[in-house]
Amino acid sequence: MKTKQNRDDQTISRLVQSVQLEIPSHLDKQVDTLLKEKKASRWPIRPVWSDMRRFFLPAAALAGVIVLLVIFTPLSSPPAPQKPVISEIRTEFELKDKNIKIIWFQKEDFKLRRNSHES
Amino acid sequence: MNRKGLVIMLVILALAVMPALGKEKNKEDISKELITKTYFLDHITPRDVNRSLKAYILDVSGDQNSNMVTVMLQKKNLEVFEKLLKRLDVERKTIQVRIFTVIASNEKKGEAIDNKDLRRVLDELQKVLSFKAYRLDGASFINIKEGGDPNYLELISKLPNLNLRIDDVRIKGNNPGERIIDLGELRLNSGKVRLISTQTSLKENGYLVAGVSKAGHNGDALVLVINAVIK
ipTM of the complex: 0.71
Q: What is the pLDDT of residue B118?
A: 94
- B202 CB near a chain A CB, below 8 Å? yes
- A107 CB near a chain B CB, below 8 Å? yes
Side-chain-facing half-sphere of B9: CA atoms under 13 Å: 6
A89 to chain B nearest CA, in Å? 10
How far is Cα B145 from Cα B166, in angstroms, rounded to an integer? 10
Query: Residue B72 in contact with residue B36, Cβ under 8 Å?
Result: yes
Interface A-B, measured as beta-carbon pairs within 8 A, has a size of: 66
- Other beta carbons less than 10 A from residue B69's beta carbon: 26
- B211 CB near a chain A CB, below 8 Å? yes
**Mode of pairing for the β-strands spanning B207-212 and B193-203:** unpaired
Is the confidence at residue A111, as pLDDT, over 60? Answer: no
Domains assigned to chain B:
31-91 (3.30.1370.120), 94-230 (no CATH)
Contacts of residue B205, defined as CB under 8 A and 6 or more positions apart, other chains included, come to: A99, B177, B227, B228, B229
At residue B64, what is the residue type? Q
- Length of chain A in residues, anyone? 119
- B104 CB near a chain A CB, below 8 Å? no
**B200 to A116: CB separation less than 8 angstroms, yes or no:** no
Residues from chain B contacting residue A101 (CB–CB below 8 Å): 200-203, 206-209
- A111 CB near a chain B CB, below 8 Å? no
Tens of pLDDT, residues A27-50: 888 888 888 888 777 665 566 666
**A104 to B213: CB separation less than 8 angstroms, yes or no:** yes
A85 to chain B nearest CA, in Å? 17
Sign of the CA dihedral B84, B87, B90, B92?
A: negative
Q: What is the pLDDT of residue A47?
A: 61
Q: What is the pLDDT of residue A119?
A: 37
User: Where along chain A do its domains lie?
Assistant: 48-73
Is the confidence at residue A110, as pLDDT, over 60? Answer: no
Contacts of residue B56, defined as CB under 8 A and 6 or more positions apart, other chains included, come to: B71, B73, B74, B77, B80, B81, B84
Q: What is the pLDDT along chain B (231 residues), one digit of tens a residue?
A: 577 888 888 888 878 777 766 666 677 777 778 999 999 999 888 988 998 899 999 999 999 899 999 999 999 999 999 999 999 898 888 999 999 999 998 877 777 888 999 999 999 998 998 888 999 999 999 999 888 789 999 999 888 889 999 999 999 998 888 999 999 999 999 888 889 999 999 999 999 999 998 776 677 899 999 999 998
**A101 to B205: CB separation less than 8 angstroms, yes or no:** no
Percent of chain A at pLDDT > 90 equals 14
Query: Residue B96 in contact with residue B231, Cβ under 8 Å?
Result: yes
Q: For the whole model, what pTM was predicted?
A: 0.58
- B121 CB near a chain A CB, below 8 Å? yes
Q: What is the pLDDT of residue B41?
A: 94
Contacts of residue B140, defined as CB under 8 A and 6 or more positions apart, other chains included, come to: B98, B99, B101, B153, B155, B156, B164
Mean pLDDT (chain A) is 76
Side-chain-facing half-sphere of A52: CA atoms under 13 Å: 3
